[in-house]
Structure 1
Amino acid sequence: MFLHGGGGTGKAFWHQIQYFSPSFRVIAPDMPGFGQSEWIDDVTSVEHIPHVLKGWFEILNISQCILGGNSMGGRVALSFAAHYPHMVSALIILDSVGVTLPNVPIINPLTLPPDQFMSGLVHDPQRYRQFTPYRTLEDAKELNRGRQIFAKYLGSQGIVPDPDQNLNQITMPTLLIWGREDRIIPLAYGKALEKALPDAELVVFDDVGHLPHIEVPQLTNQSIAHFLERRLPGVF
Structure 2
Amino acid sequence: MDRRNERSFAHIFHFHRFTLFTTPKCPHLYNIHIFSFLQSSLLFGRRQVYNNDSLYKEATTITTDIIRQTSRWRGKGFSWFESGQGYPLVFLHGGGGTGKAFWHQIQYFSPSFRVIAPDMPGFGQSEWIDDVTSVEHIPHVLQRWFEILNISQCILGGNSMGGRVALSFAAHYPHMVSALIILDSVGVNLPGVPIINPLTLPPDQFMSGLVHDPQRYREFTPYRTLDDAKELNRGRQSFAKYLGSQGIVPDPDQNLNQITMPTLLIWGREDRIIPLEYGKALEKALPDAELVVFDGVGHLPHIEAPQLTNRSIAHFLERRLPQVF
User: 1:128, CA displacement in angstroms?
Assistant: 1.5
Cα distance in 2 for residues equivalent to 1:88 and 1:149: 26
User: 1:178, CA displacement in angstroms?
Assistant: 0.2
Larger radius of gyration: 2
Corresponding pairs, count: 236
User: 1:97, CA displacement in angstroms?
Assistant: 0.1
Identical residues among aligned pairs (%): 94
Contact 1:69 1:94 in 2 (8 A): yes
Contact 1:47 1:79 in 2 (8 A): yes
Cα distance in 2 for residues equivalent to 1:88 and 1:70: 16
Q: Which residue is equivalent to 1:160?
A: 249
| Structure 2 residue corresponding to 1:136, chosen from 222, 225, 236 | 225
- Deviation beyond 4 Å, 4+ runs, structure 1: none
Determine if the alignment matches structure 1 residue 204 to structure 2 residue 293.
Answer: yes
Deviations along 1:90-122, one digit per CA (max 9) or x if unpaired, are 000000000000000000000001122222112
Indicate the SS of the match to 1:98: coil
Deviations along 1:20-43, one digit per CA (max 9) or x if unpaired, are 000000000000000000000010
Cα distance in 2 for residues equivalent to 1:80 and 1:101: 22
Indicate the SS of the match to 1:176: strand
Cα distance in 2 for residues equivalent to 1:220 and 1:97: 19
Deviations along 1:200-219, one digit per CA (max 9) or x if unpaired, are 00000000000100001011
Cα distance in 2 for residues equivalent to 1:149 and 1:118: 21
Q: Which residue is equivalent to 1:125?
A: 214
Cα distance in 2 for residues equivalent to 1:12 and 1:222: 17
- Calculate the TM-score normalised by the size of structure 2: 0.72
Indicate the SS of the match to 1:202: strand
Instruction: Answer 1 or 2: which has greater strand percent.
Output: 2
Contact 1:50 1:79 in 2 (8 A): yes
Contact 1:9 1:30 in 2 (8 A): yes
Cα distance in 1 for residues equivalent to 2:288 and 2:216: 33
User: 1:130, CA displacement in angstroms?
Assistant: 1.5
Q: Which residue is equivalent to 1:37?
A: 126
User: 1:61, CA displacement in angstroms?
Assistant: 1.5
What is the root-mean-square deviation of aligned Cα atoms in Å? 0.6
Contact 1:122 1:182 in 2 (8 A): no
Indicate the SS of the match to 2:242: helix
Indicate the SS of the match to 1:52: helix
Indicate the SS of the match to 2:117: coil
User: 1:230, CA displacement in angstroms?
Assistant: 0.4
Deviations along 1:69-90, one digit per CA (max 9) or x if unpaired, are 0000000000000000000000
Deviations along 1:176-202, one digit per CA (max 9) or x if unpaired, are 000000000000000000000000000
Cα distance in 2 for residues equivalent to 1:147 and 1:47: 18
Indicate the SS of the match to 1:26: strand
Cα distance in 2 for residues equivalent to 1:5 and 1:216: 16
